[in-house]
Amino acid sequence: MGGLDSQLWAVDALGALAHETRLAVFRALVKAGPEGMIAGAIADHCSVPPSTMSHHLAALERAGLVQSERESRLIHYRADFPGMRRLLTFLMQDCCQGAPEMCGDLLGDLACLADQPANASGER
């Protein structure tokens, strides 16, 4: 992975996440895991009208960060974990300049966050 295509894709993906509602939606879908959530539940979770939510979900899907699947009249959304991994890999691929200890504990930091309770604003 590399080159201009990856950089353009990363700019689109980061642009999609550079909005408070879309970032909240993406994080909620990541937290929901492979089961994902239906569109109405996402709208309720984020306190956003369904018509506005469909716009945000479409932007995340176009950016390769969310997948949708129609189930009769409902649309089920899931985080696109390969897309998320692609973005994280792009962001981290040049990290460390030969000194992997600089980034080596990143996953350890994430594991520690999972064990901490969230504060009132949802941050750990």
In this predicted model, what pLDDT tens digit does every residue of 107-117 receive, in sequence order? 676 665 555 55
Segments forming the whole domain that contains residue 80: 3-97
Is 34 part of any domain?
A: yes
Q: How many independent structural domains does the chain possess?
A: 1
Residue 64 forms part of a structural domain: yes
Task: From 28, 19, 83, select the one nearest 55 (Cα to Cα).
Answer: 19
What pLDDT score was predicted for residue 53? 95
For 8, 31, 75, the CA distances from 85, given in Å and listed in that order, are: 16, 15, 24
The answer to whether residue 12 is domain-embedded is yes
pTM over 0.85: no
Identify whether 59 is part of a domain: yes
Per cent of the chain over pLDDT 70 is 79
Query: What's the mean per-residue pLDDT of the chain?
Result: 85
CB 58 within 8 A of CB 77: no
Give 68 or 109, the one with higher predicted confidence. 68
Lowest mean pLDDT segment, chosen from 60-64, 87-91, 100-104: 100-104
46's tokens: 């984020």
CATH number of the domain encompassing residue 53: 1.10.10.10
Q: Is residue 118 part of a domain?
A: no
